[in-house]
Amino acid sequence: MRKSFTNEFKAKVALEAIREQKTIAQLASEYDVHPNQISLWKKQLLEGAAELFERPNKKSDETRKNQEKETQYINALGELQIENSVLKKKYKAIFGHDPKF
């Protein structure tokens, strides 16, 4: 059966691994966790540490680009709906009835 660990526990063990006061093997024995798991948590902590200091309202470039694309799609959809409405009115004016699809 798999063990599940809380984020607080992972952070605690990873911080201890970063301090290097004990070896990974000692920490693994102490906390009953596989050494590879501790190494992974340590790596994740080091890689994600820079994100802690980002402004909370700052958006990543990818998020910003996705939002811009979404806005463009919404605008294009709105334009197409207006164009469709105009064409239906013209069709009705020419043929005297609504188009049947």
Domain boundaries, the chain: 1-54, 61-101
Please provide the average confidence, as pLDDT, over all residues in the chain: 91
Q: pLDDT digit string (tens) for 70-98?
A: 999 999 999 999 999 999 999 999 999 98
Average pLDDT over residues 49-74: 84
CATH architecture of 1-54: Orthogonal Bundle (1.10)
> Whole-angstrom Cα distance, residue 17 to residue 15?
5
SS3 letters across the chain: CCCCCCHHHHHHHHHHHHHCCCCHHHHHHHHCCCHHHHHHHHHHHHHHHHHHHCCCCCCCHHHHHHHHHHHHHHHHHHHHHHHHHHHHHHHHHHHCCCCCC
